[in-house]
A and B are shown apart, each in its own frame.
Chain A
Amino acid sequence: MATRLQEVDAVMVGMGWTGSIMARELTKAGLTVVGLERGGDIKPSEDFALPGVRDELKYSRRLELIQDPAIETLTFRHRPSESALPMRRFGSFLPGNSVGGAANHWGGHTWRYLPSDHVLRTHLTQRYGAKMIPEDMPIQDWAITYDELEPYYDKFEKLCGVSGKAGNLRGRKIDGGNVFEGPRNDEYPNPPMKTTLAGQMFAHAAKELGYHPFPRPASNSSQPYVNSEGLTLGGCQYCGFCERNGCEANAKAGPHVCVLPKLREEPKFTLRTRSWVSRLIYDKAARKVTGVVYTDTRTGEEFEQPAGIVVLSAYVFGNVSLLLHSGIGEPYDPASGKGAVGKNYCYQLSRMGVTLYFEDRNFNPFMGAPGAGIVMDDVNGDNFDHTGLGFVGGAIITCGHDGARPIDYRPVPPGTPRWGAAWKQATAKWYQRSLNISLSGSNYANRNHYLDLDPTYRDQLGRPLLRMTYNFVDNDYKLSEYCMQVAVKIAQAMKPNHMSPPRLRRGDYDIVPYQSTHNTGGTVMGTDPKTSVVNRYLQSWDAHNLFIMGASTYPQQVAYNPTGPLGAMTYWASEAIVNNYVKSPGPLVQA
């Protein structure tokens, strides 16, 4: 029997970005909040300190900051007709594992989604007609427009100290910024990062060809910065150890730098680490959750934490699996198309690009940061005419070294052996003299791509593992071909001595090589409870005191990294809770 604890106003399930921001906003409004985190705590001054933080083997290869699959993983299959197998090691994506979540090891790319991304189905239908969208592609509008979310995007950027350059200030297009972005009310809080040589060369070639390159917006603070919480970020050191590592300079935004120092001082907030939530307690008749059940993994003891409001603020997979384990909502069935929980799981098209080799260049590839790269949006989203192309969506094309940690970064020209004397010669020669042009492509929903519970494999608590059914489809392959042609054109204009064959999206999804930790969907937002799990305030249709944060609420995934809207939506939802829900608990939107 679980020990029943005293009721609190709100409980957070997961203490990454969304749990930290939500807890901060709710305690500011006077609510008592408990933050439950399955992993341990992080003390940046010790855990992310020099010299140990510069350890490629520990962080990049042995995945120190990543969730332990022995505790909980997923099973995977390509199509509903197959039986799934467990992901025994994480590879293709890397969920976080402690207070701070995946923000401890992210690279910091911080985007606003395009206005058309927020109303995707409506936009494509209006521009091209309904027939443009394949029947097996259940893409949906977000339940909130770009204009509505703009002030909250701004708020999150000022929390993170995002470095970048505006390309659209209140409708005025600005050369050198992203001219395709939605109108911004304010500049980025920090100027763009210094650009690497690779980025400069790419920007020059892209501009000559008529494209619109701009510095990548990133939560790598380009200078010391005091954020909206009054907390100080350091200036980025371009160390080249950003993603998969912590940041010793406190220049990479994350809960530990941007929110938690304030939240930890808040008497109305209690943080409980090593507290693994196994299920929510659901009163279906009352359409409410009454609290959560969790195991203290230090003692093995089980507790019930009653709460007036429950916020699911885990990673995508934690949010979806907790609904399924708790019997909340109808699980999605691809055969009938009914049910919404687990529906519209999407990923991203990554590991696409081309490598260029220059005899006479010195890139110093180890000096870099995600924000030191250059991006172009010309073939992203619906920024270009798709008529007759046979696909929808697009890709961002990027260039610029964000580090060159040598176990993983050792480009050699095509035809070079992978070991031995010739390999050594080539590695020594080209480490300094090569660069990658990379593509990240959108990935729209497919009827057969979803998350449900596996019938065979279990986690450490004995619960069924979440099962992922997912593969690449025709739209992805065509998108990849089209956008790659543009990348290759730019690459050729850069006049390299050698060039690798283009790395296209071909064949089946492979869970082994890293691609992106930009998994989305499964608890998608919408206006219809039959096809969505939460309303525009991220409030569950099935339990009005349950709010679900994060990228699990995105109906499909774009080419950008998902963190920007995730932070913005948390601010947006917290405001709805504080201003409306707390005063008058009940559905904020009538179905």
Chain B
Amino acid sequence: MADDKLPRRKFLLGAGLAGTAVAAGLAPAEAQPPPATAAPSTTPASDPSTYLTLTASEVAFISAVADLMIPADELTPSGTDCGIVTFVDRQLAGAWGGGAKMYRAGPFRPAKPEYGYQLSLTPREFFAAGIAATNEWTRSTRGKDFDRLPAKDRDQALKDLEQGKAQLAGFDGKQFFEALLGITMEGFFADPIYGGNKDKVSWKMIGFPGLPAVYAHLIEEWRDKRYMVEPQSIADFS
């Protein structure tokens, strides 16, 4: 059974996806049997709903990254429990993920970072390629997909990506890390209407009041006194 080999993806069954369908969608390299001692799932998905665009292995990858970047502690729940994966899925499935507001005509050539993004890939394609390249790299250097690595190795692998030490085949690991960090922070701090920042946890963490942000009568009264209120988001006014 395909799903026996892929215990980390069992949550998808709850969403009504057959294991075989999941396996059928995997890239050849990805479909090879994991070692018998495969680590158990690091994190359940934050949301049992069906994803719009992320594949099962992409969900596992983004979940692992989200929980490293935003670990559960006394301040907030974990990145996945804050809805980061749902946020990433919706962003990549939407106009932005499809390359809206990007100039996409060629020719293309490699350039220094000061020239900005110079690939033909849409953000959706960029994340797919980055996840595949990172998993390929961890498989060749550490024997497993990124999300299946022991916690300590996963942490180190992400640091290697950040510091440009990861030698991904045909992909810029540092650039991919910056995109991962960017979208994770967007998901954590954006208005909850986009699927992340569930229960406004990040706003509570830092003391950002959200809406309505009408302070003309408060700015002097609260000068040098911490203004603390229960944050409100767009949905609270809709």
Residues of A at the B interface (CB closer than 8 Å) are 50-52, 54-57, 61-63, 66, 68-70, 73, 76, 78, 85-91, 194, 196-197, 200, 235-241, 361-364, 366-368, 372, 404, 406-407, 410, 418-421, 424-425, 427-428, 431-432, 456-458, 508-512
The verdict on B194 contacting chain A, using a C-beta distance below 8 Å, is yes
User: In chain B, what residue has the closest Cβ to A512?
Assistant: B116
How many Å from the CB of A65 to the closest CB on chain B? 11
Q: Are A367 and B190 in contact (CB under 8 A)?
A: no
Measured in the bound complex, the distance between the Cα atoms of B222 and A235 in whole Å is: 19
A431–B228 Cα gap in the complex (Å)? 13
Q: How large is the interface on B (under 10, 10 to 19, 20 to 34, 35 or more residues)?
A: 35 or more
Q: Which residues of A contact B75 (CB under 8 A)?
A: 424-425, 428
Which listed residue, B214, B218, B219, touches A372 by the CB 8 Å rule? B219
- Tell me the complex Cα distance, A424–B184, Å: 13
**CA–CA, A315 to B209, complex, Å?**
36
B152 within 8 A of A: no
Flag if B234 contacts A55 (CB, 8 Å): yes
B151 to chain A, nearest CB (A): 12
Selected contact of A61 from candidates B186, B209, B214, B218, CB within 8 Å:
B186
Give the residues in chain B near A236, CB-CB below 8 Å. Answer: 216
Shortest CB–CB separation between residue A87 and chain B, in angstroms? 6
Q: Chain A residues with Cβ under 8 A from B71's Cβ? A: 420-421, 424
Cβ contact within 8 Å between B206 and A240: no
* Interchain CB contact under 8 A, A431 and B191: no
CB–CB A364/B208 < 8 A: no
Q: Among the listed A69, A91, A420, A432, which residue makes an inter-chain contact with B69, where contact means beta carbons less than 8 Å apart?
A: A420
Q: Given the complex of chains A and B, what is the CA–CA distance between A457 and B118 in angstroms?
A: 13
> Nearest Cβ in chain B — how far from A569, in angstroms?
31
B73 within 8 A of A: yes
The answer to whether A57 touches B224 (Cβ under 8 A) is no
**Most chain B C-beta atoms within 10 Å of own C-beta, residue among A56, A200, A238, A424:** A424
Q: Does B37 contact A (CB under 8 A)?
A: no
User: Which of B68, B101, B185, B218 lies in contact with A89, CB distance below 8 A?
Assistant: B101
Q: Are A432 and B102 in contact (CB under 8 A)?
A: no
Q: How far is the CA of A62 from the CA of B102 in the complex (A)?
A: 11
Question: CB within 8 Å of A: which residues of B?
Answer: 68-71, 73, 75-76, 96, 100-105, 107, 109, 111-118, 155, 162, 181, 184-186, 189-191, 193-194, 202-203, 205-216, 218-220, 222-227, 234, 236-238
Output the least CB separation between B114 and chain A (Å).
4
For this complex, 15 residue pairs linking A to B, each with C-beta atoms less than 8 Å apart, are: A54-B210, A68-B100, A69-B101, A70-B102, A89-B102, A237-B214, A238-B216, A239-B214, A364-B225, A372-B219, A404-B208, A407-B189, A424-B75, A510-B114, A511-B115
Contact among A86, A366, A427 for B103, CB-based, below 8 A? A86
Contact B102 A419 (CB under 8 A): no
Q: How far is the CA of A237 from the CA of B70 in the complex (A)?
A: 33
Complex Cα gap A238–B111 (Å):
41
Contact B202 A508 (CB under 8 A): no
Q: Closest CB-CB distance, B235 to chain A, in whole Å? A: 8
A50-B212, A194-B219 given; A56·B101 CB < 8 A: no
Contact of A406 among B69, B155, B208, B223 (CB under 8 A): B208
- For the complex with contacts A88-B102, A88-B104, A235-B216, 16 further pairs of A-B residues with Cβ separation under 8 Å are A54-B210, A57-B191, A70-B101, A85-B118, A88-B117, A89-B102, A196-B219, A239-B215, A367-B222, A410-B189, A419-B68, A420-B68, A420-B155, A424-B73, A431-B206, A511-B116
CB contacts (< 8 Å) of A368 on chain B: these are 219
Q: Are A364 and B227 in contact (CB under 8 A)?
A: yes
Q: Residues of A contacting B226 with CB < 8 Å?
A: 362, 364, 432
Taking CB atoms, residues of chain A closer than 8 Å to B237 are 50-51
B173: shortest Cβ distance to chain A, in Å?
Answer: 15
Once the chains are docked, how many angstroms separate the CA of A240 from the CA of B120?
Answer: 36
Closest 5 CB pairs of A and B: A51-B237, A431-B206, A419-B69, A239-B213, A367-B215
Chain B residues near A404: list those with CB within 8 A: 208
Of the candidates B103, B181, B216, B224, which one forms a contact with A418 in the assembled complex, judged by CB atoms under 8 Å apart? B181
With CB as the reference atom, state the residue of chain B lying closest to A421. B71
Contact with B224, one of A56, A90, A197 (Cβ below 8 angstroms): A197
Most chain B CB within 10 A, of A51, A404, A511, A512, is at A51
